Structure 1
Amino acid sequence: MASVEDMTRLKMYQAAPEVYDAMMQLTRAAAKDVDPTIAELVKIRASQINRCAFCLDMHTADARTNGETDQRLALVAAWAEAGALFTERERAALELTEAITELDRGHVPDEVYEKAAAVFTEEELAKVIAMAVTINAWNRISVSTRVPVPRR
């Protein structure tokens, strides 16, 4: 039986280092001055929707390192039903992330955008959007190339 590592189809950083470097630069730019809790929640929610095990593993670990609780991590997928467990800003970011990630359902609804615009400055909103777009790109790279989840 092949090891998990053997299942990797392509190592993007080796095959297209300029693409990998550009993605890293976009990742850093999107994260600059963004609340790290919101940043990780955005990355986790998009990764759940996209079924990216590698990114889910990485970002739940990062969230825990930043002080996130197991309860909140377990409930990210059900954030809308979790009541006050998530702040208004976190809920707005999660809802916007879902709308950006699930574009097959249509455009980002005005009411979703307006909720986010009401709780974030223009710069913060731009960064949350960029963060959602960036993690979606990373998810698609990781899923299509079968980046393995490391054993801990």
Structure 2
Amino acid sequence: MTARTAHLDQAVARALSGLSAAAKKGLGDPALAELVVIRASQLNHCAFCLDMHLGIARQHGVPERQLDLLAAWEEAGDVFDERERAALALTEAVTVLTDGFVPDEVYDRAARHFDGTALAHLIGLVVAINNWNRVMVGRRIPPGGYTP
């Protein structure tokens, strides 16, 4: 597979990077942030983002077992704690929007584990990675080329 275009407007890239950085900083949990962006990237089939964020997750100490089982987190038993499960459920709900909205039960579950500020940052992070996924998938950017 070859990229359709390597061009990305730098103002757009800076805006997306700023949103990502602000959301991650506000969430205050780099390991959880990487689980969230990896899960969204799995759902969106973004090889570039998966390649990049799997490496970043390892740098933040995310256990290999979590990375191995992330695609099946709901069936992974105690590999993920309740806070992580709530964040992953919200990630999927915001990413997929199956019924056109985030179900109340999913939002309420996340709200039990994150205060209002952290929840806003979590949602912002999901929105940010979904934007990045679409930018990369839309241009067919292959994995590789990212240097931490």
Q: Same fold (TM over 0.5)?
A: yes
What's the TM-score, normalizing by structure 2? 0.92
What is the aligned counterpart of 1:65 among 54, 59, 64? 59
Matched, 1:10 2:5: yes
Secondary structure in 2 matching 1:33: helix
Specify the structure having the higher radius of gyration (Cα).
Answer: 1
Q: For 2:23 and 2:103, how far apart are their aligned partners in 1? A: 22
Instruction: Using the aligned pairs only, state the percent identity.
Output: 51
Measure the CA separation in 2 of the matches of 1:10 and 1:71. 35
Task: Look up the match of 1:37.
Answer: 31
- List structure 1 segments (4+ residues) > 3 angstroms apart after TM superposition: none
SS of structure 1 residue aligned to 2:26:
coil
Question: 1:136 aligned to 116, 119, 130, which one?
Answer: 130
Find the partner of 1:118 among 112, 121, 132: 112
Q: 1:24 aligns with which of 4, 17, 20?
A: 17
DSSP 3-state at the match of 2:11: helix
Unaligned runs of 5+ in 1: none
What does the per-residue CA deviation read over 1:9-62, in whole Å, with 9 as the maximum and x for residues that have no partner?
A: 22343xx21111111111111111320111001101000000000101111111
For 2:75, which of 72, 81, 103 is the aligned residue?
Answer: 81
Compared CA separation, residues 141 and 89, structure 1 to 2 (3 A): same
Please, which runs of 5 or more residues in structure 2 have no aligned partner? none
Q: Is the 8 A contact 1:30 1:130 kept in 2?
A: yes
Q: Is the 8 A contact 2:40 2:95 kept in 1?
A: yes
Mean Cα displacement is larger for which, 109-118 or 70-79? Answer: 70-79
* 3-state SS of 1:73 partner: helix
> Which amino acid is the alignment partner of residue 77 of structure 1?
A
Structure 2 distance, partners of 1:76, 1:61, is 15
The number of residues matched between the two structures is 145
The partner residue of 2:40 within 36, 39, 46 is: 46
- RMSD in angstroms over aligned alpha carbons? 1.5
| 8 Å Cα contact 2:52/2:144 also seen in 1 | no
